[in-house]
Amino acid sequence: MATAKEPERNEKKTMRTITYREALREAIAEEMRRDERIYILGEDIAGYGGTYGVTKGLIEEFGEKRVKDTPLAEEVIAGAAIGSALGGLRPIAELMTMNFSLLASDQIINSLAKFRYMFGGQAKLPVVIRMPAGGGAQRGAQHSQMLESLYAHIPGLKLVMPATPYDAKGMLKASLRQDDPILFIEHELLYNVKGEVPDLGVHYTVPLDQGIVRREGKDVTIVTFSRMVHICSQAAEDLAKEGIEAEVIDLRAIRPIDLDLVLDSVRKTNRVVIAEEGWKYYGTGQGIAALIYEYAFDWLDAPIAHVTGKDVPMPYSKVLERAALPGKAEVIAAVKALVPARATAGVGAR
């Protein structure tokens, strides 16, 4: 599969810099203007504008009918989204954080993911459930989780995890123009990240099944997604100064996964580091590693390395939280352990 295109050159002229938060808000507003069936529901999203400010101002433009504050009842938020989709609407459900999606997980897994199949193809479920995830702000064990792998395991769900404002907007717009259930997973520490996005009025979407090469390299492939993309890109810049050229792949979507993009890169570099914020055991990264072993085993020169969050509930204390979260140093160390002297010596090992 081809690398997804960054904006064309002629588009570049009309780019502007906005935050991830603003990109999401624009996507919602533009799609709500286009399609009257789209509405949004969640806790404190109307008057307050959402815990992370994504939905600020939407109530003024679209009114209470289409921007709905709900009681604190995640299971009902998900259930109501499903029911209203069966009734012909196109809901966006905002769950305040992914941690609370666990209260909605019965509706998500037992109904949202299953109806189309279980009812012999009858049900269309254009439901987008948005939720921030992740740690790093000392919010403690119940407010810092990256739980995408729980849902990635489930047939019947699509998981989107954009890392940049450009992708956040383009993928949210694409999500609202298709008919399948989507878990749209944001990261709490990405909302203020800035990036280039086409001017207002320039329409674009980003496909929901394509990753992107953030940085080309020949020595090692770093496969990552969500906030870790930024950490891995910084690690790659540092590594380049030491003569190691890492290719950074941003998966952008976890399910379906753009496996071709990963395998193409593995065939080129023969070494892989998978970097993610979540836990190691039975997680997304292990799933990806298993796929690489299955389809590209012969191309590997070394076992796949894995950078993950520590296998513990997130501790609160800053010294412990720092130790529990993967960072640039861990990515660099993993790469160096995989790519021994060859890059510095300037000689390929193969």
Partner 1 sequence: MANTKTPQPGLAKRESAPADPDLWIRMYQQMVQIRLFEEQVNDLYKTARMPGLAHLYSGEEAVAVGVCNALRRDDYITSTHRGHGHCLAKGASLDRMFAELLGKAPGYCRGKGGSMHIADQDTGNLGANAIVGGSAGIATGAAMSAKMRGADQVTVCFFGDGALGQGVLYEVMNMASLWKLPVIYVCENNLYNEYTHYTETTAGELTARAKAFGIHAETVDGQDVRGVYEEARQAVNRARQGEGPTFLLCDTYRYYGHHVGDIQRTYYRAKEEEDFWRTERDPIKLLAGWLVEQQVSDTVTLDQMMADVRAEVAAAVEFALAAPFPDVSEVDQHVYA
Q: Report d(CA 279, CA 117) in Å as an integer.
A: 30
Angle between helices 20-34 and 165-175 (to 10 degrees): 20
Rule CB under 6 A: choose which of 17, 64, 72, 200 binds ligand TPP.
72
Nearest approach in angstroms of CB 278 to partner 1 is 16
Q: Report whether the peptide linkage leading into residue 207 is cis, meaning its omega lies within 30 degrees of zero.
A: no
142: enclosing H helix or E strand? none
- If the CB atoms of residues 76 and 349 are measured against ligand TPP, the closer one turns out to be 76
Rule CB under 6 A: choose which of 100, 115, 151, 166 binds ligand TPP.
100
Q: Report d(CA 286, CA 304) in Å as an integer.
A: 10
Nearest approach in angstroms of CB 76 to ligand TPP is 12
Q: Is 302 near ligand TPP (CB under 6 A)?
A: no
Residue 32, Cβ density class (10 Å: 0-12 exposed, 13-18 middle, ≥19 buried): buried
Stretches 96-104, 148-156, 177-185, 235-243: which one binds ligand TPP (CB under 6 A)?
A: 96-104
Q: Is 137 near ligand TPP (CB under 6 A)?
A: no
The one-character DSSP state at 297 is G
Q: Which two tokens stand for residue 5?
A: 């295109």
The CA angle 304-305-310, to the nearest 5 degrees, is 140
Q: How many CB atoms lie within 10 A of CB 61?
A: 11
Give the chain's radius of gyration (CA, Å).
20
Marked catalytic residue, from 26, 31, 43, 74: 74
Q: Report d(CA 268, CA 251) in Å as an integer.
A: 17
248 binds, options ligand TPP, partner 1, none, Cβ within 5 to 8 A by partner type = none
Active site residue 74: yes
70 binds, options partner 1, ligand TPP, none, Cβ within 5 to 8 A by partner type = partner 1
Nearest approach in angstroms of CB 78 to ligand TPP is 12
Length of the chain as a residue count: 350
Residues in Cβ contact with 204 at an 8 Å cutoff, skipping those fewer than 6 apart = 7, 11, 170, 173, 198
- Residue 220: name the closest of 148, 103, 301, 113 by CA: 301
- If the CB atoms of residues 242 and 311 are measured against partner 1, the closer one turns out to be 311
Task: Map tokens 């815990």 to a residue.
Answer: 51
316 binds, options ligand TPP, partner 1, none, Cβ within 5 to 8 A by partner type = partner 1
Nearest approach in angstroms of CB 345 to ligand TPP is 53
Q: Is 96 near ligand TPP (CB under 6 A)?
A: yes
Q: Is 103 near ligand TPP (CB under 6 A)?
A: yes
Nearest approach in angstroms of CB 94 to ligand TPP is 11
- If the CB atoms of residues 73 and 323 are measured against ligand TPP, the closer one turns out to be 73
Marked catalytic residue, from 143, 187, 230, 306: 143
- Residue 106: name the closest of 86, 79, 144, 131 by CA: 79
Report the amino acid identity of residue 254.
I
Q: Is 290 near ligand TPP (CB under 6 A)?
A: no
- If the CB atoms of residues 219 and 321 are measured against partner 1, the closer one turns out to be 321
Nearest approach in angstroms of CB 75 to ligand TPP is 10
- Window 43 to 62, contacts with ligand TPP (CB under 6 A): 43
Q: Which residues bind partner 1 (CB under 8 A)?
A: 43-44, 47-48, 69-73, 75-76, 99-100, 103, 137-143, 310-312, 315-320, 323-324
Binding site for ligand TPP (CB under 6 A): 43, 72, 74, 96, 100, 103
Q: Which residues are tagged catalytic?
A: 74, 143
